Structure 1
Amino acid sequence: MSRRHSAKYKIDRRVGENIWGRPKSPVNKRNYKPGQHGQNRRSKTSDFGLQLMAKQKLKGYYGDITEKQFLRIYEEANRLKGNTSENLIGLLESRLDAIVYRAKFVPTIFAARQFVNHGHVLVNGRRCNIGSARLKPGDVVQIREKSRNMALVLEALGSAERDIPEYVDVDPKAMTATFVRVPELSDVPYPVQMEPAQVVEFYSS
């Protein structure tokens, strides 16, 4: 069960952006920070504050990833060859719950975690209930046959709220999604600007 499901828009208010691009976000009506003095908080943010905000925004976007889990993902990205910020995005987007969300099998990243945890998903024909499971290019994610008529799934697939990115190949009739390749930052359809380079600065400083 999502630990922050009932308060999932708090991060939107905190960073002042609609990070999932959803119409219900409170930022659409009030794009200032929460609290009675929210509109008056106009002080200049320090470099550390900007880096912290970038980290909180990226971590929050992927649902209930804990600080410890997110740090572990960053450390893995830092060990890999190439650009650490691009590696970080690639690792986050390779998670099973992220692919279930990208494929539009569910409406939110929070629902994706819960959907996987409840055993509704197969990976390469085998049941997998671990949202953080890492997928490799070519892996096929499929909704179990018994779960295909769930209202949650049918509504999400029929929604025009989000587009499916090119690195996920979806067959809506078979309810399968193939993870085509590990994406770069420019491939990922974030509704707001994400700054993984600032996240790298945060952890490396």
Structure 2
Amino acid sequence: MARYTGPKSKIARKFREPIFGPDKALEKKNYPPGQHGPSKRRGKQSEYAIQLLEKQKAKYTYGVLERQFRTLFGKASAKQGITGENFLRLLEARLDNVVYRLGIAPTRSGARQLVSHKHITVNGEVVNIPSYSLRPGDVIAVRERSKSLEAISTSVEGRKINKFNWLEWNANELQGTFVTFPERADIPENIKENLIVELYSK
């Protein structure tokens, strides 16, 4: 499966959550898409269907492809601790996600594009791999010649107070630090990681 590039509102309505950010279409039509609308009767979902839906939600939320998703889950399983929580921490440590969390880009897809186009550095070196895994202490910054980009300046100006305690932000230098892996309680995404673990345990 290639990365999804279709209507985002349709996917948000499928999960009944604004997984790509605020969505007016979702607010108006808070029911699954389809020609029969809210009147369509849907039978009870199987346990497998519920688990698969949760996995798809996580993939769409973080913009991760199947192979990357499976590889990351394997790494989470091999680490000490709770597999589901380890998995979300690894997703949060992706470079594109941290660029988004820092407010350098307004969306994860926008952050992926900035990274791919070599506008972002890690510890002073240009990194153009969105899935790059950060480690505590890594410094993420906007490349010097990219600081004047309108897309970046607009996003940073609209940035709210740093609400993620595992990240530090220096507005003057347009750089942030990945301080540590976040605790599960600090990750705002509404993902039931235990369902994903159950799916892969079959």
TM (norm. structure 2) is 0.92
> Which residue is equivalent to 2:57?
57
> Which residue is equivalent to 1:72?
71
> Which residue is equivalent to 1:144?
143
Deviation of 1:148 after TM superposition, in Å, equals 1.1
> Which residue is equivalent to 2:106?
107
Secondary structure of residue in 1 paired with 2:141: strand
CA contact (8 A) 2:3 2:65 kept: no
Secondary structure of residue in 1 paired with 2:88: helix
Counterparts of 1:107 and 1:5, CA distance in 2: 17
Counterparts of 2:172 and 2:178, CA distance in 1: 17
Moved more, 86-95 or 42-51: 42-51
Q: Relative contact order (alpha carbons < 8 A, sep ≥ 6): 1 or 2 greater?
A: 1
% identical aligned pairs: 39
Counterparts of 2:115 and 2:184, CA distance in 1: 25
> Which residue is equivalent to 2:188?
189
Counterparts of 2:158 and 2:66, CA distance in 1: 32
> Which residue is equivalent to 2:27?
28
2:179 aligned with 1:198: no
> Which residue is equivalent to 1:125?
124
1:61-84 Cα distance to aligned partner (Å, 9 max, x none): 012x11111111111111111100
Aligned-residue Cα RMSD (Å) equals 1.9
Counterparts of 1:106 and 1:11, CA distance in 2: 21
Deviation of 1:152 after TM superposition, in Å, equals 1.3
Deviation of 1:183 after TM superposition, in Å, equals 0.9
Matched to 2:90, the amino acid is L
Structure 1 segments (4+ residues) deviating >6 Å: none
| 1:181 to 1:41, Cα distance in 2 relative to 1, 3 A | farther
Aligned length: 200
1:35-71 Cα distance to aligned partner (Å, 9 max, x none): 11231244222211111111111111012x1111111
Deviation of 1:163 after TM superposition, in Å, equals 5.4
